[in-house]
Chain A
Amino acid sequence: MTDVGVRPSTWTAVGSTLSGYVRNWDQAVVPAIFLVTVATFYAIEPNYLSATNIINVLNQVSILAIVTVGASIVIFTGGFDLSAGSVVAISSVVGAIVFDHTGSLMFAVAAGVGTGFLVGAANGFVVGYIGVSPLIVTLGSMNIARGLALIISAGTAIYSFPRSYTDFGTSSFLGIPTLALVSFLVFAAMALVIRLTPFGVYVYASGGNAHAAQLSGINVKFVRMTAFAISGALCGLAGMMLAARTGGGEPTAGVLYELEAIAAVILGGAPLSGGEGRLWRAMMGILLLAALGNGLNIVGMHPHWKGVAIGAILVLAASLDAVKRRRH
């Protein structure tokens, strides 16, 4: 980061800020690709930038944005969560079943988020305290959660939520989709936690140099477990938001969400080794992926092209990042 603000002269500060921008040119890559993407689709289909579609994209991205916030925090601690998509699915199913039992949306949402929290905490316990690689642990829990979601739902989607819940899922507040507001609030809250609380410091320290962090008195195991638990709870929330969009719990929902979220974090310049990264940049990454997917759909491109485009952008962004790191 630049050291703007400690210089005596304003002009030096401006100079330093400018050179800071130049030095941090890599941060402009994703926003630049985003602008090019938007401009391209707008040129092909003017409705791409219509109010309807902007609301549409905000709605679509809101769920993945929340998953991405969770994935970011885990990655900042040097972890990795492959179970995200499956946790979204099982949470939506549990929420739907609980609503079916109780008729209470509050209980349903609590159960959905709670399910995610439990899976996440279990992931974190095995990673942090038993010391198994997060890749293996979450590969396992990815399968366990998906399997359990299918078992408790008997393999079919459970559409138990009332129309009022799906109306909430498609509602707007001051012209902004409610789900997008929810995900913005979650993002803002987590960004504040990461920036302003000791926990935020511990998160980066645990990822950057776990040994040093441990020596300086940080309970790295607990921090890792907490990061996974937060990620799980956020996936649970995402599952309940998905249910608000579709009206039910789908055991087959959320497939590959984890990879989109991880791709977004990488697009945001965070190394998988942890210790670095910014939440807002990961948000920029997921917004780019959503704008891209939506654009390809609107112009009627085959969805397989989405994979090609995302892959190419990912490798490009990561390569530029690597080039930059080597120079320093």
Chain B
Amino acid sequence: MNRRSFLRVAAYGTLAAVTATSLPSIVQAQNAKFHVGVSLPEAQNPFYVALGRSIQQTLEKAGFRVTLLSANADINEQVSNINDLVASKVDAILMSPLDTKGPAAAVQRAHAAGIPIFMTARTLDEQYRNLWKTYVGFDYADVGAKKGKWVAENVKPGKIAMLLGPAGALFAVDQEKGFREAIKNANFQVAWAQNSTQTRENGLKLSEDALVAHRDLVAIYASNDDLALGAAQAVRAAGLSGKVAIIGTNGSPPALAAIHNGDMSATILLDPIGWGRTSAEIVINYLVNKKEPEAHFTPLVAELITQKNAYDNIPPPLRERLGVKPRN
């Protein structure tokens, strides 16, 4: 295999570049006079890296000036970031708050200064809903429900282990709720559940431990794909391949490959590239064409991926790299 040509394992990065160049309708708008501030909660989370890059590329492609600030998971830093954006008199703020309350005062100041605010990926508590034009995001309870529904329909009843993701994070909490609700009436028992940060390392370690206490698990729920891929590793090492269904969230290319190859069962496709692009396009439409977005919430469709459609969702340039071939 020619590995050199696929050096850019930074799959999202390549993708962002590819997709951002294919936006004819927006490319025409050369609006260097518009300055958009972007405030993201974390600089280290791959999801936000991809989201931020996609937003930035879409806006710059449209000729906008972009100031992208990341808060390193620190509320105070995000508050100062937003204050800085207000002080530099940006024309719009596109942001993803670190939590549902912390940045609210800063967002209120921005709103009072007459700056239109757009939320993406995460938003503030409902009580502040009048502060933002629209929130582009998934309904995570729905994401969890889709996963639960798949389990209820495709897995024979038994014990489930849950890798819950970070304690208290809204996306993790809502997802868990949706999942539990969806399997409530089927004969499943959540035998084991644990919070953790979402890395493959943790997925592996926690699943190894869960399988010690419960070797008869029928499914492992994971709040994201990295945890799920770690779980797949543990299941395989325990010699239980094919006996434990593993469900993640994100639709990252390695997870799609694992689903295609049968190491994982399902995931929900959350596409930070498309998400970032959609969010940026809404801002562009608002500033350039004076088009008001859907009030308060612009839902994105969460698509369930299984072995049937995993291959089609792997970006073609990455297929050889990930060693996947179409199924017959």
Q: Which residues of A contact B (CB under 8 A)?
A: 45, 47-48, 50, 52-53, 56, 59-60, 96-97, 100-103, 146, 150, 153-160, 166, 170, 242, 245-248, 250-253, 255, 294, 297-300, 302-304
Contact = CB atoms under 8 A, between A and B. Distances in A.
Give 8 nearest A-B pairs by CB, closest first.
A154-B10, A155-B49, A297-B209, A170-B237, A156-B46, A53-B212, A246-B200, A158-B9
A222 B205 CA distance: 38
Contacts of B157: none
Nearest to A242: B201
B306 interface: no
A293 to B, nearest CB: 8
Contact of B230 (A100, A103, A246): A246
B3 interface: yes
B12 A156 contact: yes
Interface stretch (B28-36, B56-64, B190-198, B285-293): B190-198
B12 A248 contact: no
Given A47-B212, A298-B210, A302-B194, 7 more contacts: A101-B3, A101-B4, A150-B44, A154-B8, A156-B11, A247-B200, A252-B197
Nearest to B200: A246
Given A159-B254, A250-B201, A300-B193, A154 B49 contact: yes
A40 B254 CA distance: 39
Contacts of B298: none
Contacts of B43: 150
Interface string B1-20: 10110111111110000000
Contacts of B212: 45, 47-48, 50, 52-53, 56, 298
Contacts of B7: 97, 100-101
Contact of B213 (A158, A253, A300): A300
A176 B9 CA distance: 34
Contacts of B45: 155
B226 interface: yes
B209 A298 contact: yes
A156 B208 contact: no
A246 B233 contact: yes
Contacts of B206: 297
9 contacts: A97-B9, A155-B45, A157-B200, A158-B9, A159-B254, A160-B9, A170-B237, A245-B204, A252-B46
A300 B194 contact: yes
A300 B11 CA distance: 35
Contacts of B208: 56, 59-60
B6 A100 contact: yes
B205 A103 contact: no
Given A53-B212, A100-B3, A303 B195 contact: yes
A156 B209 contact: no
Q: Which of A157, A248, A304 has the most CB of B within 10 A?
A: A157
Given A101-B7, A157-B200, A252 B233 contact: no
A156 B197 contact: no
B13 A154 contact: yes
B204 A156 contact: no
B278 interface: no
A297 B197 CA distance: 14
Contacts of A100: 3, 6-7, 9
B194 A303 contact: yes
Given A154-B10, A154-B49, A157-B226, A245 B233 contact: yes
Contacts of A246: 200-201, 204, 229-230, 233
A251 B206 CA distance: 19
A300 B200 contact: no
Contacts of B49: 150, 154-156
A253 B199 contact: yes
Contacts of B236: 170
Contacts of B167: 302, 304
A45 B213 contact: yes
Q: Which of A48, A251, A300 has the most CB of B within 10 A?
A: A300
B50 A155 contact: yes
A277 B12 CA distance: 47
B200 to A, nearest CB: 4
A299 B13 contact: no
Given A50-B212, A56-B209, A252-B199, A157 B46 contact: yes
A299 B213 contact: yes
B233 A47 contact: no
Contacts of A253: 199, 201
Given A100-B7, A101-B3, A52 B238 contact: yes
Given A101-B7, A300-B213, A250 B193 contact: no
A63 B131 CA distance: 48
Contacts of B252: 156
Contacts of B3: 100-103, 160
A255 B196 CA distance: 12
A45 B9 CA distance: 42
Contacts of A59: 208
B248 to A, nearest CB: 14
A62 to B, nearest CB: 12
Contacts of A155: 10, 44-46, 49-50
Contacts of B13: 154, 156
A103 B321 CA distance: 12
B150 to A, nearest CB: 24
A45 to B, nearest CB: 6
